[in-house]
Structure 1
């Protein structure tokens, strides 16, 4: 099974592109959604996080605002949180892969916003970066509720620049020319990955 790492800066259309892979029958693991599930009532992270940071659980779920207040700007607290959450996410992800293989999937996608920033690009077979022109990116982000220029710039400062992402990508999906164009790029990418390897002069497939 080929594992694709899907990433892209804020406002580039990564979530929409992930759904295009789903529409093509490719299983997609959403890292952010996994953490939300772990923090929700009954989630595996609720008890351990409350034990490490008493008072952050409200109505049976981890209150993300309270948790952020405890860890943002506190490196040791962040490390303690990661020590709790990362193994749970890893186990959750392993279950996803097990199910995908069992279902006979030949390609699976890991949707990870900070793929390069966390070194996740080294754990996948190919990296797909979702990109769009800077002016369109800014327009999309500033249209979001509660967003302003300062917040946008602060988020960008924490992310690997788009130009560097594109340079390090195996594939780039351009969402700046509409949904149909992006959808065709996804289909073309999958066709390329599923194509048989070229034959060597001796007649055997290249390894």
Structure 2
């Protein structure tokens, strides 16, 4: 039985991935967000949370036994070796869960939102990769408006992610999201038609 058409959606911080994924969902595509899966995997009682505590210490938990995300983020943000340790704990389970969900998906195709696809090189079985691309200057503006970060913090976040060129290098399809929500939605609708046609031929 042929597998369902899988579209990997990625992009840098502030690129518009969330808006794009919401519009794909409104058009009938199944959207699987690996950030949501990651949050589910570190709920109390989950093996991944136990492994994080074993690796990084009991102070990664708050008073209620939940993961202290801010503390963990501060711990690994500036340390690439520790960030790699965290990714080694989480990414195999995230990948396995995302693939399992994609196999149960309804609709003509499914969209896997994978923010760190270019950074981790995760081996997802994707048929196409869609990059939501945004000029870095516009990323800075959006991050400042949305998250209230200082200029220095914004630069640190951008430096921790793949470059624009690295993301574009893995793209099959590109939407340049620099002209407002209406243009973004129009581009998504165009790709929805294309992906639906591809899904139909994929199953034939």
> Which secondary structure state, in structure 2, belongs to the residue aligned with residue 187 of structure 1?
helix
Structure that is richer in helix per residue = 2
Check if 1:17 corresponds to 2:4. Answer: no
**Distance change (3 Å), C-alpha of 1:148 and 1:25:** same
**Distance change (3 Å), C-alpha of 1:145 and 1:97:** closer
**Distance change (3 Å), C-alpha of 1:90 and 1:170:** closer
**Distance change (3 Å), C-alpha of 1:121 and 1:163:** farther
Q: What's the CA shift for 1:17?
A: 0.8
Unaligned segments of structure 1, at least 5 residues: 198-206
Answer 1 or 2: higher relative contact order, Cα 8 Å, separation at least 6.
Answer: 2
Residue-by-residue CA offset, 1:92-141 (whole Å, 9 max, x unaligned): 223312321xx3x3311111112112113764211111123343322111
Unaligned segments of structure 2, at least 5 residues: none
Contact residue 128 and residue 171 of structure 1 kept, 8 A: yes
Greater Rg by CA:
1
Q: 2:104 aligns with which of 96, 99, 103?
A: 99
> Which secondary structure state, in structure 2, belongs to the residue aligned with residue 45 of structure 1?
helix
Check if 1:143 corresponds to 2:145. Answer: yes
Contact residue 6 and residue 102 of structure 2 kept, 8 A: no
Check if 1:162 corresponds to 2:164. Answer: yes
CA-based RMSD of the aligned residues comes to: 2.7
Normalized against structure 2, the TM-score is what? Answer: 0.80
**Distance change (3 Å), C-alpha of 1:8 and 1:81:** closer
Q: What's the CA shift for 1:8?
A: 1.0
Residue equivalent to 2:32: 29
Normalized against structure 1, the TM-score is what? Answer: 0.79
Contact residue 128 and residue 169 of structure 1 kept, 8 A: yes
Q: Which structure 1 residue ranges, 4+ long, deviate > 4 Å from structure 2?
A: 69-80
